Amino acid sequence: MFRWIMRILWRNNPPKKEQTPESPLLDEPWRELRWGDRQRDLQYVQEYKPAREDIRYLRVLLYGPVGAGKSSLITSVSNVLREQITIPALANAITSDKSFTKQYDTHKFAKGRGSSKTFYSVVFNDIMGLEDGSNNGVHPNDIKLALEGRLKEGHKFNPVSPVTKNDPGYNKSPSADDRVHVLVCVVSANTPQIKSSVLEKMKSVRETASELGIPQMAMMTHIDDARGEIEKDLKTVYKSKHLRKKIKDFSAAVGIPINCIFPVKNYSEEIDLNDDVDFLILSALKKMVIFGDDFIEKNC
């Protein structure tokens, strides 16, 4: 009798099968990379020179929310180009919601040492981070002036008062060498959600760059912190379902095409170079040079 009752209960309420947790990785990468071609891309960037004699440097302008890792990205690019761990650019504290960068500076990447030292033909300009609120962070109008080459080196940003034509930091006669040739948005994969006011500022910057015909890209940093599988193996970056969704959502929110968004890992704790870290940075850096060179050829 007891067995008969148990059979009926089992038939009506069969034991649930344990479900296998869904893999966080896709079976195939959604973007193909030829891992191992680090030296090819490195040589391409190191040997690049603008075709026009009046342009010494291909100028890249970095912008983005506070804490996205712009300063760390500059240091990481320096590490890759110089093929050694270099002195880091001062970066904002992780817990801070205020921009560390206070003035408009050009970051050059040294080639060689001593009296033979020169610089690579790609330079980065860094500006204050975009912050929540109308009186915080860099003013979008200052970014427009930077794009046009109208901000002088060392100009100190004032979130409340953007640059005017009468300010000492205003460049009245920008040359083709002063202009920005590529605009790069730096955003963290760790950011849960970008505030609407910051997104509006980012869209404003994008629209201005589009009006000027300046090519645009995005770098998504902190990818190794976003999910454990990437931290274990950086080569899974383009298999990560979580990261793919982050990139698609960011593309939809800001308007930068997915094929112009590049996930990277910045150097932070390492004391030696890592080929996989280098490769992701170089794949983005090479695109910057290609986009910027096209702009120089057509618009400068």
Range of the domain at 273: 53-299
Closest CA to 144 of 205, 99, 103, 197: 205
181 lies in some domain? yes
21 lies in some domain? no
Residues 219-250: tens digit of each pLDDT: 999 998 655 788 889 999 999 999 999 999 99
Q: How many CA atoms lie within 13 A of 70 on its CB side?
A: 27
Q: Which residue has the higher pLDDT, 181 or 193?
A: 181
d(CA 106, CA 221): 21
Calculate the CA 195 to chain-centre distance: 18
DSSP 191-202: -S---HHHHHHH
Q: What is the CATH number of the domain that holds 115?
A: 3.40.50.300
Task: Sort strands 118-119 and 122-126 into parallel, antiparallel or unpaired.
Answer: unpaired
Domain count, the chain: 1
Minimum mean pLDDT among 53-62, 131-140, 182-191: which range?
A: 131-140
pLDDT at 108: 95
Share of the chain above pLDDT 90, in %: 57
Residues 150-180: tens digit of each pLDDT: 999 988 888 778 888 999 999 999 999 999 9
Percent of the chain as helix, strand, coil, to the nearest 5? 40, 15, 45
2 lies in some domain? no
d(CA 96, CA 92): 7
123 lies in some domain? yes
d(CA 119, CA 112): 8
pLDDT at 129: 85
Dihedral sign of CA atoms 64, 104, 271, 67 in order? negative
272 lies in some domain? yes
pLDDT at 96: 45
SS3 for 137?
strand
d(CA 152, CA 166): 13
234 lies in some domain? yes
Note whether 251 and 220 are within 8 A (CB).
no
* Radius of gyration from C-alpha coordinates of the chain: 23
Residues 91-106: tens digit of each pLDDT: 443 334 554 557 898 9
Calculate the CA 158 to chain-centre distance: 24
Q: Which residue has the higher pLDDT, 37 or 27?
A: 27
d(CA 78, CA 46): 11
User: What is this structure's pTM?
Assistant: 0.88
